[in-house]
Chains A and B, each alone.
Chain A
Amino acid sequence: MKTFEEKWTAWLDDELTGDELAEFEASLPDKAAAAAEKRDAHKLGAFLKEQLQGRAMGNEEFFHHQLRERIERDARAGVAEGKADSPRAWWPIGRLVWVGATSLAIFCVCTFFVMRERGPAEQSQYLSQILTARVDPVVSPNATISMFESKKDRVTVLWVDGLQSLPSEYATK
């Protein structure tokens, strides 16, 4: 058993026939208003059918050609990028060798200069040295100077003999 809405939709679409049509039209309270509504619905349907129809493409071949070109270009760029990325992620062997050789050369140069600078000082690295010593010959005419190193505690001694002796009061703080 159809509802009123179903019968109304079928009537608008001209799908009711025979007794069913007569019975439905008889049940309408205002047949003129219903007929006007049916005309409006038909008009709206025709308008929508006309407007919603897909527009035909005038330059379909050209559009397809452009699209294919673009896809191929993108694909080529993607492959090239992939090739470029993988080997350049780290330095090539050649560059690593070059950098290693340069670093070694810098190290050798620095070592050479450092060793050359340290060379003469090597002797005095562990022991103190007396380079020069002198006493006033007028004050201490008989003074003699000698120097030696005691290896035991690595003590360097400047031994001065013949300086004028002084009284014990000179030992005060």
Chain B
Amino acid sequence: MQRRSRLLLGLSFALIMGSALPARASQVVWSGLVIANNVAQPEAIPPELNRFEGTLKELFGYNQFRVIGQSRKTLVTGSEDWLASSKYFSLHVDSKGGTDAGYLLNLKLFQEKNLLLETEAKLSKASPLVIKGPLVGDGQLLLLLVVQ
């Protein structure tokens, strides 16, 4: 009897803990360096930006969004770092850890070896992050991070 009661208690405790503690699966974070500009014949928008194309056009006033550098990183532990780079720009992303809400990131935008911008951000799984960078020619450099 004693043994059975201990077994039942253990089982119920395990069930409670199992439902209380979230299971964290690995997720992919897409990071992109995008040049936005206005052209007569715009290219198709990259598939990673499809779901918020309207918002991008509305916010920045451009009709074309072209990826010049990108990285697709699978986060397993949530504490990883990676680089998305083009010929002149590079975005260094350092993930400091993941929670249920998303990932805590340190972002650094470099123009060649010059640090242009540094920011700390919480990237939510349901909410993309857009950073307006410097003007480049007749367009604008944008940095985008999306949890896929």
Binding site for B on A (CB under 8 A): 88, 91, 95, 99, 102-103, 106-107, 110-111, 113-114, 118, 121, 124-136, 139-140, 149-150, 152-161, 163-173
CA–CA, A106 and B17, complex, Å? 9
B116 and A152 contacting across the interface, CB-CB below 8 Å: no
Complex interface: chain B residues within 8 A of A164 (CB): 134
A124 and B122 contacting across the interface, CB-CB below 8 Å: yes
Complex interface: chain A residues within 8 A of B122 (CB): 124, 128-129, 131
Interface residues of B in 82-112 (CB under 8 A from A): 86-89, 99-102, 111
Complex interface: chain B residues within 8 A of A110 (CB): 16-17, 20
Q: Is the interface of A mostly helix, strand, loop or mixed?
A: mixed
B35 and A171 contacting across the interface, CB-CB below 8 Å: yes
Q: How many A-B contacts if CB must be within 8 Å?
A: 170
Complex interface: chain A residues within 8 A of B71 (CB): none
> In the complex, what's the smallest C-beta–C-beta distance from B64 to chain A, in angstroms?
11
Instruction: Tally B residues with Cβ within 8 Å of A.
Output: 57
A133 and B132 contacting across the interface, CB-CB below 8 Å: no
A128 and B124 contacting across the interface, CB-CB below 8 Å: yes
Check B54 for interface membership: any CB of A closer than 8 A. yes
B134 and A165 contacting across the interface, CB-CB below 8 Å: yes
B16 and A107 contacting across the interface, CB-CB below 8 Å: yes
- 17 A-B contacts, Cβ less than 8 Å apart? A91-B1, A95-B5, A127-B124, A131-B121, A153-B52, A155-B52, A155-B56, A156-B124, A156-B129, A158-B129, A160-B117, A161-B132, A165-B135, A166-B134, A166-B141, A170-B111, A171-B68
A102 and B9 contacting across the interface, CB-CB below 8 Å: yes
